[in-house]
Structure 1
Amino acid sequence: MDTQTDTKGEKTIQSVDRALAILEVMARHRGEVTLATISEALSLNASTCHHIIKTLMARHYVRPGTARGRYMLGSQLVVLADAVNVKAELPGRAKAVLDALNQITEEAVHLAVLEGGEMITLVKREARHALRVDSGSIGKSRAMHATATGKILLSELPETEIRRITSEHGMQKFTGNTCTDVDALITELEETRERGHSEDREEFQLYVVCLGAAVRDTTGRIIASISVSTPINRATPEHLALVRDELMAAGRTLSLNVSDSPEA
Structure 2
Amino acid sequence: MPAAAPASPPVKGPRVRPVPAVSRALAILRLLAANAEPMTLKTISEELELVTSTCLHILRVLVEEGMVKVEAGTKRYSLDVGVLSLARSVVENNPFPMRVQSALDRIAERWNVTTIGMKVSGLDDLVVLALARSRGPFRLYVEVGSRVPALTSATGRIVAHYAGLTDVELARQFKSLHWENPPSFETWLKEVKSVQRKGFAIDRGNYISGISVLAVPILDAHRRVTHAIAALGVADTLTASKVQALATDMQAEAAGLAQ
Number of aligned residue pairs: give it.
172
Please state whether the residue corresponding to 2:209 is helix, strand or coil. Answer: coil
1:187 to 187, 190, 193: 190
Please state whether the residue corresponding to 2:151 is helix, strand or coil. Answer: helix
Equivalent-residue separation in structure 1 for 2:168 and 2:218 (angstroms)? 19
Match of 1:204 in 2: 207
Please state whether the residue corresponding to 2:202 is helix, strand or coil. Answer: strand
Q: After superposing the two structures, state which structure 1 stretch, 198-207 or 184-193, moved more.
A: 184-193
Q: Deviations over 1:40-62 (max 9, x none)?
A: xxxxxxxxxxxxxxxxxxxxxxx
Q: Is the 8 A contact 2:212 2:233 kept in 1?
A: yes
Q: Which amino acid aligns with 1:210?
A: V
Q: Is the 8 A contact 1:109 1:126 kept in 2?
A: yes
Shift of 1:168: 9.4
Equivalent-residue separation in structure 1 for 2:234 and 2:202 (angstroms)? 14
2:169 to 160, 163, 166: 163
Equivalent-residue separation in structure 2 for 1:127 and 1:234 (angstroms)? 13
Q: Which amino acid aligns with 2:207?
A: F
Q: Deviations over 1:196-230 (max 9, x none)?
A: 10010001111101111111122222111101111
Q: Which has the larger radius of gyration?
A: 1
Shift of 1:137: 3.2
Please state whether the residue corresponding to 2:194 is helix, strand or coil. Answer: helix
Distance 1:132 1:220, change over 3 A: same
Q: Provide the TM-score with structure 1 as the length reference.
A: 0.56
Could you tell me which runs of 5 or more consecutive residues in structure 2 were left unpaired when the two chains were aligned.
1-17, 22-89
Shift of 1:166: 5.4
Q: Is the 8 A contact 1:133 1:208 kept in 2?
A: no
- Where do residues 211-250 of structure 1 align in structure 2 (5 Å cutoff)? 211-250=214-253
Equivalent-residue separation in structure 2 for 1:157 and 1:231 (angstroms)? 29
Distance 1:137 1:180, change over 3 A: farther
Distance 1:250 1:141, change over 3 A: same
Q: Which amino acid aligns with 2:197?
A: E
Q: Is the 8 A contact 2:101 2:132 kept in 1?
A: no
Equivalent-residue separation in structure 1 for 2:168 and 2:160 (angstroms)? 7
Q: Provide the TM-score with structure 2 as the length reference.
A: 0.57
Query: Cα RMSD between the aligned structures?
Result: 3.3
Q: Which amino acid aligns with 1:179?
A: P
- Where do residues 1-264 of structure 1 align in structure 2 (5 Å cutoff)? 8=20, 88-116=94-122, 117-129=124-136, 131-134=137-140, 136-138=142-144, 139-142=146-149, 144-160=150-166, 163=169, 167=173, 170-172=176-178, 174-176=179-181, 178-179=182-183, 181=185, 184-256=187-259
Q: Is the 8 A contact 1:113 1:225 kept in 2?
A: yes
Q: What is the aligned-residue identity percentage?
A: 14
Equivalent-residue separation in structure 2 for 1:128 and 1:191 (angstroms)? 31
Distance 1:113 1:154, change over 3 A: farther
Q: Is the 8 A contact 2:203 2:213 kept in 1?
A: yes
Q: Deviations over 1:97-116 (max 9, x none)?
A: 22211121121001112225
Could you tell me which runs of 5 or more consecutive residues in structure 1 were left unpaired when the two chains were aligned.
1-5, 10-83, 257-264
Higher relative contact order, chain-length normalized (CA < 8 Å, sep 6+): 2
Shift of 1:184: 4.8
Shift of 1:89: 3.7
